[in-house]
């Protein structure tokens, strides 16, 4: 069984899910969308945040992305993640809209 790395926001401590720890268990730090907006207002949700989100999501297995997509798809606060997940699933030929 692969070990999981818990991801938490380094600014507010909010849990941001988990990722494959590549054999290592522990905690990894990221930044959540709210803190990013708060601490980097000049960036104003630019390409760089979307790219960081995308790079992180690309490391996730397809099944995890499909589950996340189902969970998040109606959450307007998570639009950046939803768009990124849709794109990655589409690239992998796994974008399936469950009805
Ligand atoms: Zn945060």
Q: Are residues 74 and 91 in the same domain?
A: yes
CA of 42 to the centre of ligand 1 (A): 17
CA of 98 to the centre of ligand 1 (A): 31
Q: Are residues 35 and 64 in the same domain?
A: no
Q: Are residues 9 and 24 in the same domain?
A: yes
Range of the domain at 94: 46-99
Q: Are residues 33 and 67 in the same domain?
A: no
pLDDT at 46: 65
Lowest mean pLDDT across 1-5, 32-36, 83-87, 90-94: 1-5
pLDDT band at 14 (very low <50, low <70, confident <90, very high): very high
Buried b (16+ CB within 10 A) or exposed e, 25-54: eeebebbbbebbeeeeeeeeeeeebbeebb
Asked if the model's pLDDT at residue 12 lies above 90, the reply is yes
CA of 36 to the centre of ligand 1 (A): 7
Question: How confident is the model over 33-67, as pLDDT tens digits?
Answer: 888 878 776 655 567 777 888 888 999 999 999 99
């Amino acid at each position: 069984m692969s070990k999981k790395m818990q991801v938490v926001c380094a600014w507010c401590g909010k849990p941001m899910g988990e990722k494959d720890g590549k054999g290592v268990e522990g905690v990894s730090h990221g930044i959540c969308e709210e803190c990013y907006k708060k601490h980097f207002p000049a960036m104003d949700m630019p390409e760089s945040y979307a790219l960081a989100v995308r790079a992180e999501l690309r490391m996730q297995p397809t099944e995890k992305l499909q589950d996340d997509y189902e969970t998040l798809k109606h959450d307007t606060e998570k639009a950046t993640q939803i768009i990124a997940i849709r794109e990655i699933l589409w690239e992998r030929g796994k974008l399936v809209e469950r009805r």
